[in-house]
A and B are shown apart, each in its own frame.
Chain A
Amino acid sequence: MMQPATLPWFVRHELALAWRDWFSMMTAGKPGRGLIVAVSLVILAAFLHVLAYGLVAHYADVGDNPGKTTLVVVTGCALLSWSLMLSQAMESVTRAFYARADLDLILSSPASSRRIFALRIAAIAVSTVLLAILVTGPVINVLALSGGVRWLSAYGVVIAMGATAAALAVALTVALFRLIGPQRTRLIAQIVAAIVGAVFVIGVQAAAIVMYGSISRITFLSSDFASSIAPDTNSLFWLPARAALGDQAALAVTVIFSLALLFTAIAIFSTRFGEHATAAAGIAETRVRQSRKSGFRAISARRALRHKEWVLLRRDPWLVSQTLMQIFYLLPPALLLWRNYGSDTGALTILVPVTVMAAGQLSGGLAWLAVSGEDAPDLVRTAPISPRAIIMAKIEAVLGAVAVVMAPLLIAICFASLRIALMAALGIAASAASATAIQLWFRAQAKRSQFRRRQTSSRVATFAEAFSSISWAATAGMLAAGTPFAIGGAAVSLVILALTWTISPSRGAD
């Protein structure tokens, strides 16, 4: 029998909660789906391994004494992953601070709150590592299969990266808390997380575009320039890369250093974690005042709905950071546009699919918020407007927001090539309309606060939205390149939409 309120007892409690939470997320809360989820995961793992084989197998053989270029590429790839891990860890820390959940119970119990908060920081590190392993695991396995078992030590590096990311995320969030207070930290931390996740990924891509006119990050990392500015090969900077390449001593130092960093962060911050979480919980009671001088405006019901959607979108901190991410990922294509301005239009055609893809993803998120994330469904449904008018207003709100985000880039493309701008606009319209339609077909009433989980409520909708955005992106890219295969791309997109409609609950409801 386990002693209550001890560390192992808390570990068991947290593990049980985490498992149930994960299982419910994977099965969308529907019992009897366990086997389907298990089979899907096996298929996904197999697919990722095949994909990884095609991408990295030929890089596996690096010899016994890796050169500087190899170290730069491995370190660069690790830093790319690490920035995403840091972003995810910051998200998790922010959520842990602001989710009230069992905070009252913990703080009012005689159990050591420091112990449970220490455990929660450790849990953030574990979840960060697990997610990173899900993505990097197939790559590491393929490298080990093709280049020898020494690559398996990269798993150790992933663990070290997760530990340092969690330690730094806690430190950064607490620093923000102390600097700007709990009220602003929620928004700023989410934006910082988005920027941290994107800045290195985009920075390397931007360097590749500016210097080599290529959108590939590897082009930059394997360039002579990157090698020339990198530290000498015997620098400690390369320890993680050497560890990933199988150097056991380097691995031991990397793992011990990062775990020490994590334990230090836990020791320092777990004592004040409860204090910060209490302060964060207090902001739910804080009132936000809106300055308003004008009176009521005379507006139609449709306009009232559109206006409401835009106000809610603008005032949603999470969505602000999400939108920011979309805009960030448009920076490299914008840079490519700037670099190739006035030259041939060949490079411009690369822009089109990226832009179309981003528009589809953005529309999907916005459409979910407007359609499924309606916080006052009874009010809207009891208003004297037809359901069709309500849906039309929401579609207009979504597409209007997408247009505002995409317009600057489209206008810039217009100056370079009117034809390509037209193709991009068509692609954006098709992709945004399709993503919105899919969200309409699969709408299910939810709270806006459940936005993060929208993907798990209907996996069919998520995959359909992704496939539709990809196929419209490919279609628009082919159109811009002037190839007749674009007709095939459009046909595939329409087939995806037709299939999605066939299996959607909306069709069953008719």
Chain B
Amino acid sequence: MHDQPVAALDIKGLAKTFDRPAVDGLDLSVRAGEFYCLLGPNGAGKTTTLRMVAGLLRPDAGEISIFGVDALRDPVEAKRVTAWVSDEPMIYDKLTPFEYLEFVAGLWSIDATEAESRARDLIGWLGLEPHAHERCGGFSKGMRQKVALAGALVHDPKLIILDEPLTGLDAGSARIVKDVLLQRVRKGVTIIMTTHILEVAERMAERIGVIDKGRLIANGTLDELRGRAGREGTTLEEIFLDLVAEQDQAA
């Protein structure tokens, strides 16, 4: 009998209802070291799913396991290896990027010397060096997103969850963010990302999941999705639109 490698994320029967079901019995598994993109139309349940994985929302039902740790029973242990980046970078206007990273390192109880070295590297990679000791209050959206991303990486997580991280970024900033993420994947980090920019998913993701009305309606590599759609060489955009239209008709 082979030992199954532990999945980075294993979701079973996940459900959350607000005024209507937002996530409806979702099953999803993401392998360790994988770049996984979660796609779906507005209101499909992507953000709700990821917020539950990050421990920001309590599910009504289901199980979430992060690297074998039950995230609902032992959230602190699961959070230790996880990082969350949202589309609206939440940072402190009155702290500098350097102070922000020191704060994050403190929250994750990372060794100060190691954290400082990582922080300096990240500040350099993300082009924040000239602004490292300026308060974040006057930063542009792109710079704020870079600071938030640096915060997510400074504690060296094994799983990074990003909700629309490229929204509102200029081409240069988006390129830097994408490069940093790909570099992390090469080092074995698992990335789960939602995006509305399908070209990004097409080029970066190893596997893609499509979610609609709280359910996973397709899951696989781009070629597997093409095979399912029965159209060789078709773009992800066409596949996505077909899948969502199919789902709408079925509903």
B195 close to A (CB within 8 Å): no
Q: How far is the CB of A322 from chain B (nearest CB, A)?
A: 16
Q: A284, B138: Cβ atoms under 8 Å?
A: yes
Contact assessment for A315 and B138 in the assembled complex, using a CB-CB cutoff below 8 Å: no
* CA distance in complex: A217, B116 (Å): 57
Chain B: CB-nearest residue to A301 = B107
Task: Name which residue of chain A comes closest to B95, CB basis.
Answer: A311
Chain A interface main SS type: loop
A287-B138 contact, Cβ under 8 Å, with A295-B112, A378-B90, A381-B55: yes
**Is B7 an interface position by the 8 A CB rule?**
no
Contact: A382 with B84, CB < 8 Å? yes
Least CB distance from A295 to B in Å reads 5
Chain A residues 29-85 with CB under 8 Å of chain B are none
Q: Which of A12-20, A94-102, A383-391, A422-430 contacts its partner?
A: A383-391
Q: Smallest Cβ distance from A325 to chain B, in angstroms?
A: 20
CA distance A331 to B112 in the complex (A): 43
> Which of A290, A296, A299 has most chain B Cβ within 10 Å?
A296
Report yes or no: A312 in contact with B95, Cβ–Cβ below 8 A: yes
Select one of B104, B108, B119, B133 contacting A292, CB under 8 A.
Answer: B133
Q: Which residue from B101, B108, B134 sits with its C-beta under 8 Å from A383?
A: B108
Is the C-beta of A104 less than 8 angstroms from some C-beta in chain B?
Answer: no
Cβ of B77 < 8 Å from any Cβ of A?
Answer: yes
Most chain A CB within a 10 A radius of its CB, from B107, B108, B134: B107
> Could you say which residues of chain B place their CB within 8 Å of the CB of A384?
76-77, 79-80, 107-109
A275 contacts chain B at the CB level, 8 A cutoff = no
Docked Cα-Cα span, A285 to B137, in Å, equals 8
A109 within 8 A of B: no
Question: B98 at the A/B interface (Cβ < 8 Å)?
Answer: yes
B119 and A296 contact, CB distance less than 8 A: yes
Task: Please give the distance in Å from A72's CB to the nearest CB on chain B.
Answer: 46
Distance from A103 Cβ to chain B, minimum over Cβ atoms (Å): 17
A311→B76 contact, CB < 8 A: no
Chain B 82-118 against A: per-residue CB contact (8 Å), 1 yes, 0 no?
1110100011111110110111111111011101100
Chain A CB within 8 A of B45 CB: no
Q: How far is the CB of A469 from chain B (nearest CB, A)?
A: 28
Q: Are B94 and A311 in contact (CB under 8 A)?
A: yes
Measured CA separation A380–B90 after assembly (Å): 10
Q: Assess whether A286 is interfacial by the CB under 8 Å rule.
A: yes
Which residues of chain B are near A312, meaning CB under 8 Å? 92, 94-95
A376 near B91: Cβ-Cβ < 8 Å: yes
Nearest opposing residue in chain B for A298, CB measure: B112
Most chain A C-beta atoms within 10 Å of own C-beta, residue among B83, B92, B96, B119: B92
Given contacts A298-B111, A301-B107, A379-B90, contact A290 B135 (CB under 8 A): yes
A288-B79 contact given A311-B94, A381-B56, CB 8 Å threshold: no
Interface size class of A (residues with CB under 8 A): 35 or more
- Whether the Cβ atoms of B104 and A296 lie closer than 8 Å is no
- B76 partner residues in chain A, CB cutoff 8 A: 384-386
Within 8 Å by CB of A296, from B84, B95, B113, lies: B113
Of residues B104, B111, B115, which shows the largest number of chain A Cβ atoms within 10 Å of its Cβ? Answer: B104
**With a CB–CB cut-off of 8 A, which chain A residues contact B96?**
290, 292
Please give the distance in Å from A183's CB to the nearest CB on chain B: 11
CB of B107 within 8 A of CB of A311, answer no
Shortest CB-to-CB span from A391 to chain B, Å, is 14
Interface with B: A302-310, A360-368, A454-462, A476-484, which one?
Answer: A302-310
Q: Which residues of A contact B116 (CB under 8 A)?
A: 295-296
Q: Which residues of B contact A308 (CB under 8 A)?
A: 92, 95, 103
B131 is an interface residue with CB less than 8 A from chain A: yes
Interface: B54 (CB within 8 A): yes
> Would you call B107 and A375 a contact (CB within 8 A)?
no
- Cβ of A452 within 8 Å of any chain B Cβ, yes or no, is no
* Chain B residue with the shortest CB-CB distance to A291: B133
B94 contacts A315, C-beta separation under 8 Å: yes
B48: shortest Cβ distance to chain A, in Å?
A: 14
B165 interface residue per 8 A CB criterion: no
Which residue on A lies nearest to B137, using beta carbons? A288
Let me know if A300 is at the binding interface, CB within 8 A.
yes
A287 touches B95 (CB 8 A): no
Which of B108, B109, B115 has the most chain A CB atoms inside 10 A of its CB?
B109
B151 part of interface (Cβ distance < 8 Å): yes
**In the complex, A141 Cα to B131 Cα: how many Å?**
59
A399 to B241, CA, bound (A): 55
How many Å from the CB of B111 to the closest CB on chain A?
7
Q: Which residues of B contact A385 (CB under 8 A)?
A: 76, 107
- Given that A296-B102, A297-B112, A383-B107 are known contacts, is A375 also in contact with B90, CB under 8 Å in the complex? yes
**Nearest A residue to B106, CB-CB:** A304
A316 contacts B by Cβ under 8 Å? yes
- The complex places the Cα of A384 from the Cα of B115 at a distance, in Å, of 16
Is B115 within 8 A of A296, CB to CB? Answer: yes
Q: How far is the CA of A381 from the CA of B82 in the complex (A)?
A: 12
- List A residues at the B interface (Cβ < 8 Å): 284-292, 295-301, 303-305, 307-308, 311-312, 315-316, 375-386
29 pairs of residues in contact across A and B, judged by CB atoms under 8 Å = A284-B137, A287-B138, A288-B135, A289-B134, A290-B133, A291-B133, A292-B98, A295-B113, A296-B105, A296-B113, A296-B115, A297-B112, A299-B112, A300-B106, A300-B109, A301-B106, A304-B105, A304-B106, A305-B106, A308-B95, A375-B90, A375-B91, A378-B84, A382-B54, A383-B107, A384-B77, A384-B79, A385-B76, A386-B76
Question: Which A-B residue pairs are the 5 nearest by beta carbons?
Answer: A304-B106, A383-B107, A298-B112, A296-B116, A376-B90
> Could you list 20 further interchain pairs (A-B, Cβ under 8 angstroms) beyond the known A296-B105, A379-B84?
A287-B138, A290-B96, A296-B112, A299-B112, A301-B107, A301-B108, A304-B103, A305-B107, A307-B103, A311-B99, A316-B94, A375-B90, A375-B93, A376-B90, A376-B92, A378-B56, A379-B104, A383-B104, A384-B107, A385-B107
